Amino acid sequence: MILPARVKPERQGGREHDLTQVADGRLWWKFTKPWSSGYAVDLSGEEPTLLPARPLQYLTRLKLQNRYFGDAMRFVGITHDSKSRRIVIGQPDIKGRPASWDEINQWFAEQGFAKLKVQRLGAYDSAAFAGHGVGVFDVRPVNVVMTVEGMLLPIDVMIRPITKPQLLRLSSSS
């Protein structure tokens, strides 16, 4: 759906999105940065690299996030004007606090994910995990919420399929 050009984010977000809160605060509209489709983790080289994503890579990443972590992100549309084009997604607001590193490490281990030796892909303080055929990157407290009900939810991580050879190469085991 093509959104009217007047649909714009209300505030600046992080590296990947700008934001508008809608539906009486129950939903965030996340706008990719102008002329961008977010980021994708490339595993074709010796070390993982963060690259600009193509639109389909970005939307596939969101679909994986929904499948593996129970998120409910949805494609809202595309907004554009003479200065930019942005993909807009909707993501429910999740009440809680940033999870601690202990909570993150424990939760991923309990879910069958192994911590990878990859560090600082996405942000300087991020970690990466792999399991169930996917790699999860840019994992850090600001991207993982501990809900008021005590559930841990990754909400803004970079998830992608990972093959067994890629997993072996990135594994933390020596």
The tens digit of pLDDT for each residue in 43-99 reads: 998 889 999 999 999 999 999 999 999 999 999 999 998 888 999 999 999 999 999
In angstroms, the CA 155 to CA 147 distance is: 11
Of 14, 13, 9, nearest in space to 122 by CA: 14
Question: Higher pLDDT residue, 169 or 140?
Answer: 140
Closest to 153 in 3D by CA, of 142, 168, 163, 162? 142
- Domain residue ranges of the chain, discontinuous segments joined by +: 2-92, 96-170
Rounded to 5°, angle at Cα 165 from 163 and 171: 95
pLDDT-derived band at 135 (thresholds 50, 70, 90) equals very high
| 30 membership: H or E segment, kind and range | strand 27-32
Locate the DSSP E strands across the chain: 2-3, 11-12, 17-22, 27-32, 39-42, 49-52, 74-81, 84-92, 96-98, 114-115, 127-131, 134-139, 144-147, 152-154, 158-161
Q: Name the average pLDDT for the chain.
A: 92
pTM for the complete prediction? 0.91
Q: Minimal CA–CA distance to 155: which of 141, 144, 165, 166?
A: 144
Q: What is the pLDDT of residue 174?
A: 42
> Residue 26 is which amino acid?
R
Is it the case that residue 146 has pLDDT exceeding 80? yes
Question: Is 13 strand, coil or helix?
Answer: coil
Question: Which tokens sit at 89?
Answer: 């997604």
Give CA–CA dist 24/45, Å, rounded: 45
3-state secondary structure of 5: coil
